[in-house]
Structure 1
């Protein structure tokens, strides 16, 4: 594992507290200027120019200092972004796997409750506490069956109305 302040892809511990993150709306994103290839050389030209040359060009030393800070901030974000993106990918995949495991177990449990309820003399008492589980698990099957029945009814209706009189 690398230094949490300088994480590498795959690291699970990251210290990004030095980064002042910004949260903007999608509409704002669309209005932002984009950096193009070669921006690093342009920044370097401004930063390496003699103060007298910058003054002759009308550049403010305050803005030059702000440019240097912004450039360092951007470099820091670009340094940690691959690790953050990998962590996001890992979390997404973890969520998918855990969701699958939960769905699988809920399915197994719903089938077990249903089997026990069908065989038990007091089946309603067995199934009643698990009504939400049974409804959740078998809901898609019930919707599919209802859709098939509706389609079958609709298919039969035109066939009977088109028969010769």
Structure 2
């Protein structure tokens, strides 16, 4: 089993509980400064600094440590994002596939019940309890047919006679 704190794409368990995750708006995202190529060298440079070098350069040691902590967190996020994206993709695709399977089964069940109800002398007793299923399954087609009937012009319903003049 893979480590949920260090997931691989395709893993179904991701543990980001030790990360302080935030939620921002798309407008805020547009304002963020992006890190560029070379950031790893810059972070490595900060890691190599001794306390004396930090003091001599006039740097705030707390800021240096905070930058290193954020860089570690950023590295963790970099490792988790591909696995989280793949998990989200798999969840969405699985939901779509299950929805498809469900729609197909509901259609088949409605068809079976409708055929039985049409052949059986006690059809209303068979069909009555399935009223909501039939409304779901056949409602869009009935609505479409009603819309087509309503939108057809009177000229189409009563075509003019052709005259030979």
TM-score (norm 1): 0.83
Partner of 1:2: helix, strand, or coil? Answer: coil
The count of corresponding residues between Structure 1 and Structure 2 is 160
Tell me how far 1:76 sits from its aligned partner: 0.5
Deviation at 1:33, TM superposition (A): 1.9
The whole-number CA distance in structure 2 between the counterparts of 1:147 and 1:155 is 17
Structure 1 counterpart of 2:163:
none
Deviation larger for 129-138 or 11-20: 11-20
How far does residue 56 in structure 1 lie from its aligned partner after superposition? Answer: 4.3
2:126 is paired with a residue of what secondary structure? helix
Residue pairs, 1:48-127, within 5 angstroms: 48-127=48-127
Residue 154 to residue 53, structure 1, CA distance change in 2 (3 Å): farther
| CA apart distance, 1:139 | 1.6
Q: Distance in 2 between matches of 1:113 and 1:132?
A: 13
Q: Distance in 2 between matches of 1:154 and 1:113?
A: 37
- Taking the aligned partners of 2:153 and 2:120, their CA distance within structure 1 comes to 36
Question: Contact conserved, 2:8 with 2:82, CA < 8 A, in 1?
Answer: yes
Q: Does 1:24 align with 2:56?
A: no
Worse-matched range after superposition: 87-96 or 48-57: 48-57
Query: 5+ residue gaps in structure 1?
Result: 161-165
Question: Is the Cα contact below 8 Å between 2:46 and 2:68 reproduced in 1?
Answer: no
CA drift of 1:14 comes to 2.8
RMSD between aligned residues? 2.4
What is the distance in 1 between the residues matched to 2:53 and 2:150? Answer: 80
Q: Map residues 29-40 of structure 1 onto 2, 5 A cutoff.
A: 29-40=29-40
